Amino acid sequence: MSRTSSLAGTAERAPAARRPFRWKRAEALLAPAFLYYFVLLVLPSAAFCVVSFYGRSDTGFFDGVFTLKNYVSVLTDGFYLGSLWLTFRISVETTLACLLLGYPAAYYLAKLSPAARKKLIILLLFPLLLSTVIRVYGWIALLGRRGIVNQVLLSSGATDYPIAFLYTEGTVLLGLVSILLPYMIINITNTLITIDPALREAAAAHGAGPFKIFLKVTLPLSGAGMVSGAVMVFTIAMSTYIISFLLGGPKVKLLGNLIFDSTSSFNWPLAAALSVVLVVATAAACGAMVRLLGSPANGMAR
Amino acid sequence: MASVEIAGVSKQYAGAWAVDRVSITVPDGSFFSLLGPSGSGKTTLLRLVAGFLRPDAGTVRIGPAIVNEVPPHKRDIGMVFQQYALFPHQTVLDNVAFGLEMRGMGRKAREAKAREALEMVRMAGRERAYPKELSGGQQQRIAIARSIAARPAVWLLDEPLSALDRKLRIEMQSELRSLQKLLGITTIYVTHDQEEALAMSDGIAIFRDGRIAQQGSAEDLYERPADGFVADFLGSANLIEGVVARGPQGLHVVAEGEAFRPSADHILRENERVHLAIRPERLDLSGAPGAAQGLPARVESVLYLGSDLRVVLRTRGGALLVARAPSRGTALAEGAEVFAAFKPEDAAIVAH
Ligand SMILES: Nc1ncnc2c1ncn2[C@@H]1O[C@H](COP(=O)(O)OP(=O)(O)O)[C@@H](O)[C@H]1O
Ligand SMILES: [Mg+2]
């Protein structure tokens, strides 16, 4: 107690003149990254927000006449709304699948010795060395009309004609999960290993068996890791383009693919409006996720 | 309630014995302290009783049953950890009610019981707070309430007060002890603080390198330490080297050329090398030589400690003695020649 008060005393006694000096230094350190993002992210984002309120032009980027018609068509046209809903649904499914598959793996990793865990985490990150395109082509080689799976099924007589695995929602989901699972596992593992082992012992000493310990201590205290993993996976899934392009083709068009299509047809304002809608929808969903799961009862307030 | 019986228990870590053939019986309802320097095996023994570790040899009984194979959650214990280990995601009330919830008690009943426990540790009114909103001392009270709310058969505490400041620690010592008496709960208390152990315990075991150096009541250990380690660990002791010799009145100890009569309860063997162990406060510097048994010495330094003086003396034989004398009425200067007298019963004769 005396310790706390003396610490507080030190803070109060810190000379006023030193504070601005420290702050200026901190800002100086921030400046390069800040400038980089301001020029290359904030300004362009502001620009496409502006562009989204204009009509298309055959000669330039946009026509210079203010209009809401891009948003009206995005938010009323069943084609775009359907794609938004599909994008959202696949992203939620991806997030849930990653949670269910990732949690047990993370739990196992967290139980290992730090040295053994390090080795397995390197293994887990290994696929990230390969480009997403190459890994997705792996799925095509497996699941295409003349892919390995169909070859086996045909030659074993399990089916008489190739099964259309590609260009289905399920295959897009499969691809997304296979690419995003490591992010979820690492987020949950990193939270699990911060849980003080004494808490599990305290639970055991006061009558909790292994399952109750998991339910009452481990699971709630890993809430922060599940939320950060879910936000990461969900965000990447919402904005995916290449995975759905290769595995979903013309049939499974996510919002990212529609944005690309709009730019290919030089409708920059529509692409901009779709992008704004995508960003807003993603941010809203993530905000809801953090709010819903981010209470102290879920270990977020530690 | 139940007694705890530890019989010939050993536990090794990586080839080294952290606990080595330890036997302790803690009678039903009594307060037993495991005292010893850091690394001497106290926590390991407590964890063996809690069930977090399994003994490599020996048995642990709680009540009549051998519990070697019983997991912690089935042992009916309550435990207080050194760093509190409160659940950060639960309110104070939920923390305290945890043991009751695990024992299957309904919400209403367990919250009533938890409030009762909070009252016992004088923390009523903070039910809705989260642990991080409380001070260290308050968190420790919550941890104590959690450990007793379900009225377990055995109470285990691992240096529960070591993170608190001195004033709070002394206050909590007496609170813990009266709580223990009120509940009549069999208690094993780990501490490295000898004053704490002496003040609180019915029985004490002193640990050294995984073994029990001596066990008994506080008075046993303080007045009749088995060896120099115990004597010195339980408050400082002056150790004077001597050897047992036979004289006209039987066996006695010869130290620095003087003969010292043993008190009645020592068993001596001729020619054995021993230490005379004398507490600083039992050395009397006020008398003249010849009136009692003692050693002439020269004052090396005098330290003023408020109500007491701490006087460092050097005997003619070169032994360093520390005496405590009341500061009022004692006039000693550095370099003064004094006679350090002590009664036979104040000199424990301990193995060399
Ligand atoms: N988990 C462990 N692994 C290896 N050695 C340990 C472990 N726990 C304790 N020890 C060793 O066992 C001995 C006793 O430790 P401990 O029971 O914690 O002592 P105390 O509580 O008296 O300070 C020490 O030498 C310590 O280094
Ligand atoms: Mg310890």
Looking at ligand 1, which residue's alpha carbon is closest to its atom 2? Answer: B13
SS3 per-residue string spanning chain B: CCCEEEEEEEEEECCEEEEEEEEEEECCCCEEEEECCCCCCHHHHHHHHHCCCCCCEEEEEECCEECCCCCHHHCCEEEECCCCCCCCCCCHHHHHHHHHHHCCCCHHHHHHHHHHHHHHCCCCCCCCCCHHHCCHHHHHHHHHHHHHCCCCCEEEEECCCCCCCHHHHHHHHHHHHHHHHHHCCEEEEEECCHHHHHHHCCEEEEEECCEEEEEECHHHHHHCCCEHHHHHHCCCCEEEEEEEEEECCEEEEEECCEEECCCCCCCCCCCCEEEEEECHHHCECCCCCCCCCEEEEEEEEEEECCCEEEEEEEECCCCEEEEEEECCCCCCCCCCEEEEECCHHHEEEEEC
Domain locations in chain B? 4-223, 236-351
Across the interface, do A1 and B137 touch by the CB < 8 Å criterion? Answer: yes
* A1 at interface of B, judged by CB pairs closer than 8 A: yes
Contact (Cβ atoms closer than 8 angstroms) between residue B314 and residue B297: yes
Identify whether A274 is part of a domain: yes
Of all atoms in ligand 1, which is nearest to the CA of residue B37?
22
Of all atoms in ligand 1, which is nearest to the CA of residue B46?
17
Smallest CA–CA distance, residue B128 to chain A, in Å, is 12
pLDDT at residue A74, as a whole number: 94
Across the interface, do A202 and B86 touch by the CB < 8 Å criterion? Answer: yes
Task: Please indicate whether residue A201 or residue B307 has the higher confidence score (pLDDT).
Answer: A201
Out of A199-208, B272-281, B319-328, least confident range: B319-328
Identify whether A238 is part of a domain: yes
**Is pLDDT at A15 greater than 70 in this prediction?**
no
pLDDT at residue A295, as a whole number: 61
Across the interface, do B72 and A201 touch by the CB < 8 Å criterion? Answer: yes
User: Does the C-beta of B152 come closer than 6 Å to ligand 1?
Assistant: no
Mean pLDDT, rounded, for B208-212:
97
* A302 at interface of B, judged by CB pairs closer than 8 A: yes
Interface list for B 62-121 with A (CB within 8 A): 71-73, 77-79, 81, 83, 85-90, 98-99, 102-103
Across the interface, do A4 and B135 touch by the CB < 8 Å criterion? Answer: yes
| Pick from B50, B52, B102: CB nearest A208 | B102
Among B102, B130, B172, most A C-beta atoms within 10 A, so best to mutate, is B102
Across the interface, do B81 and A217 touch by the CB < 8 Å criterion? Answer: no
| Pick from A202, A216, A302: CB nearest B79 | A202
Mean pLDDT, rounded, for A192-200:
96
pLDDT at residue A22, as a whole number: 64
B118-176 tens-digit pLDDT: 999 999 999 999 999 999 999 999 999 999 999 999 999 999 999 888 888 888 998 99
- For a substitution probing ligand 1, which of B40, B47, B189, B193 has the most ligand atoms within 8 Å of its CB? B40
Per-residue confidence band for A8, with pLDDT thresholds at 50, 70 and 90: very low
Out of A276-280, B4-8, B303-307, least confident range: B303-307
pLDDT at residue A14, as a whole number: 42
**C-alpha B42 – ligand 1 centre gap (Å):** 8
Mean pLDDT, rounded, for A190-201:
96
Query: Which residue of chain A comes nearest to B154, CA vs CA?
Result: A205
**Is pLDDT at A2 greater than 60 in this prediction?**
no
| Pick from B88, B98, B103: CB nearest A302 | B88
A215-254 tens-digit pLDDT: 999 999 999 999 999 999 999 999 999 999 999 999 999 9
Number of folded domains that form chain A: 1
**Is pLDDT at A18 greater than 60 in this prediction?**
no
Cα A115 from Cα A266, distance rounded (Å): 53
Mean pLDDT of chain A: 89
pLDDT at residue A298, as a whole number: 55
Identify whether A47 is part of a domain: no
pLDDT at residue B31, as a whole number: 98
pLDDT at residue B52, as a whole number: 98
**C-alpha B16 – ligand 1 centre gap (Å):** 10
User: Which value, in Å, is the radius of gyration of the alpha carbons in chain A?
Assistant: 25
pLDDT at residue B166, as a whole number: 86
**Is pLDDT at B51 greater than 50 in this prediction?**
yes
Identify whether A133 is part of a domain: yes
Smallest CA–CA distance, residue B140 to chain A, in Å, is 13
Of all atoms in ligand 1, which is nearest to the CA of residue B34?
22
pLDDT at residue B251, as a whole number: 87
Looking at ligand 1, which residue's alpha carbon is closest to its atom 27? Answer: B39
* A201 at interface of B, judged by CB pairs closer than 8 A: yes
What proportion of chain A, given as a percentage, has pLDDT over 90?
A: 78
The strand order across the sheet containing B320-326 reads B320-326, B308-315, B294-304, B337-341
Nearest by Cα to A202 from B86, B45, B322? B86
Identify whether A52 is part of a domain: no
Report the CATH number of the B236-351 domain.
Answer: 2.40.50.100
**C-alpha B44 – ligand 1 centre gap (Å):** 6
| CATH number, residue A265 | 1.10.3720.10
Interface list for A 220-249 with B (CB within 8 A): 220-221, 223
Q: What is the pTM of this model?
A: 0.83
| Pick from B86, B89, B136: CB nearest A297 | B89
Query: Which residue of chain A comes nearest to B134, CA vs CA?
Result: A1
With respect to CATH, is domain B4-223 assigned 3.40.50.300? yes
Query: Which residue of chain A comes nearest to B90, CA vs CA?
Result: A297
Identify whether A143 is part of a domain: yes
User: Does the C-beta of B43 come closer than 6 Å to ligand 1?
Assistant: yes
Domain that holds residue A142: 81-293
B65-106 tens-digit pLDDT: 999 999 999 999 999 999 999 999 999 999 999 999 999 999
Burial class (CB in 10 A: 0-12, 13-18, 19+), A131: exposed
Mean pLDDT of chain B: 92
Query: Which residue of chain B comes nearest to A204, CA vs CA?
Result: B73
Interface list for B 116-145 with A (CB within 8 A): 130, 132, 135-137
Smallest CA–CA distance, residue B75 to chain A, in Å, is 8
B239-261 tens-digit pLDDT: 899 999 988 888 889 999 888 88
Of all atoms in ligand 1, which is nearest to the CA of residue B45?
17
Cα A82 from Cα A257, distance rounded (Å): 13
Of all atoms in ligand 1, which is nearest to the CA of residue B210?
14
Cα A140 from Cα A146, distance rounded (Å): 9
